[in-house]
């Protein structure tokens, strides 16, 4: 072991890091690492962060890991504001949808006009809900609730009947589906990686090479690895859902997060007033990304 600091890995509600750990891919790459619990907890407490505290705010506060994953809109904005660098050699796409109780009178997207949809503030669910629903209803009729926590906290509130609708992805998506909640609209969206400024890029490449191998394993035999959802799914759900019935979830795409994608996304964020106009930095791809 060298004196070099361990590379800190924080899973983000997907299978890849757990599979790479199980199969020894990080070790094969010579990556000296440790797992940290940025967003992992058996009781979901890290997902109950309070009103208007979402993915962007966790970047402002500072995450523990060397590479963080979040929706590409938030990583885009955070990188532009100098909170890290967007990793441009890959992105991912996660399943996501707006769910309501099975007995809800809400049957179609148009029925969500004026209905609070629980989302994470300045998180993927926030942007993707707007992006999906504005095809069906006027933007002014899209009502979002930001005080229901991050992913698994929103799932808990939906299951407990505390909210009428919630945006859910990954394991929470599959859990809601299995528990009889109705998906009203698909809101799948892109994720991106954020690199801490102090991180050795050789370690970053080792990390992503391991994830690439894990992606192939998940593509080939997803049923062998869905058990890893239990690593992050709050324990209250372990006895009421069967993760063997879950799908593969987020998929990493090893294609560039291009200048065009960056600039179009930055423009969309600005047009939709997601951030205060003074808080959103000017778009600058060259200083915001790392290859």
| pLDDT over 50 at 61, yes or no | yes
Encode pLDDT of 63-99 as tens digits: 788 998 999 999 998 888 888 899 999 999 999 999 9
Full 3-state SS string of 227-248: HHHHHCCCHHHCCCCCHHHCCC
Encode pLDDT of 131-186 as tens digits: 999 999 999 999 999 999 889 999 999 999 999 999 999 999 999 999 999 999 99
Stretch 243-263: mean pLDDT, rounded? 97
Residue 178, CA distances (Å) to 182, 188, 224, 248 in order: 10, 18, 19, 15
- The DSSP element (H or E) to which 142 belongs, if any, is none
Residues in Cβ contact with 135 at an 8 Å cutoff, skipping those fewer than 6 apart: 109
| pLDDT over 90 at 48, yes or no | no
Q: Is 253 helix (H, G, I), strand (E, B) or coil?
A: strand
**Separation of alpha carbons 186 and 163, rounded Å:** 19
Stretch 93-115: mean pLDDT, rounded? 98
Q: What percent of the chain clears pLDDT 70, i.e. is strictly above it?
A: 89
The predicted model scores a pTM of 0.92
- Tell me the pLDDT band of 16, cut-offs 50, 70 and 90: very high
Burial of 271 (0-12, 13-18, 19+ CB in 10 A): exposed
1.10.760.10, 3.40.50.300, 1.10.645.10, 3.40.190.10: which CATH number matches 7-93+190-286?
3.40.190.10
**Separation of alpha carbons 260 and 280, rounded Å:** 18
In the chain, where the domains are located: 7-93+190-286, 96-188
- Tell me the pLDDT band of 197, cut-offs 50, 70 and 90: confident
Can you read off the two tokens belonging to residue 221? 């035999």
Listed range (168-177, 184-193, 225-234, 270-279) with the worst mean pLDDT: 270-279
Considering the domain delimited by 96-188, tell me its CATH architecture. Answer: 3-Layer(aba) Sandwich (3.40)
Say if strands 289-290 and 166-169 run parallel, antiparallel, or are unpaired: unpaired
* Mean pLDDT (the chain, rounded): 90
Check for a shared fold between 7-93+190-286 and 96-188.
Answer: yes
- Tell me the pLDDT band of 274, cut-offs 50, 70 and 90: confident
For position 1, what pLDDT does the model report?
45
Burial of 131 (0-12, 13-18, 19+ CB in 10 A): middle
The C-alpha angle 276, 282, 288, rounded to 5 degrees, equals: 115
């Amino acid at each position: 072991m060298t004196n070099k600091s361990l590379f800190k890995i924080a899973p983000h509600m997907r299978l890849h890091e757990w599979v790479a750990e199980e199969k020894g891919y990080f070790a094969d790459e010579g990556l000296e690492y440790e797992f940290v619990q940025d967003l992992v907890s058996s009781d979901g407490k890290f997902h109950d962060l309070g009103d208007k505290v979402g993915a962007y705010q966790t970047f402002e506060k500072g995450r523990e890991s060397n590479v963080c994953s979040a929706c590409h809109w938030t990583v885009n904005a955070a990188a532009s504001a100098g909170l890290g660098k967007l990793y441009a050699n890959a992105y991912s796409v996660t399943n996501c949808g707006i769910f309501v109780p099975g007995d809800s009178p809400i049957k179609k997207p148009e029925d969500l006009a004026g209905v609070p949809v629980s989302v994470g503030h300045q998180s993927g669910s926030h942007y993707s809900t707007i992006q999906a629903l504005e095809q069906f209803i006027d933007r002014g009729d899209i009502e979002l609730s930001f005080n229901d926590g991050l992913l698994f906290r929103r799932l808990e509130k939906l299951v407990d009947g505390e909210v009428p609708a919630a945006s859910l992805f990954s394991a929470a998506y599959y859990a809601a589906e299995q528990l009889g909640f109705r998906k009203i609209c698909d809101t799948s969206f892109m994720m991106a990686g954020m690199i801490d400024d102090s991180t050795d890029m050789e370690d970053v490449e080792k990390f992503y090479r391991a994830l690439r191998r894990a992606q192939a394993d998940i593509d080939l035999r997803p049923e062998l690895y869905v058990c890893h959802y239990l690593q992050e799914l709050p324990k209250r759900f372990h006895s009421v859902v069967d993760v063997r019935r879950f799908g593969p979830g987020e998929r990493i795409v090893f294609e560039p997060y291009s200048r065009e994608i960056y600039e179009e996304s930055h423009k969309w964020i600005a047009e939709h007033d997601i951030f205060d106009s003074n808080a959103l930095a000017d778009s600058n791809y060259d200083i915001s990304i790392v290859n």
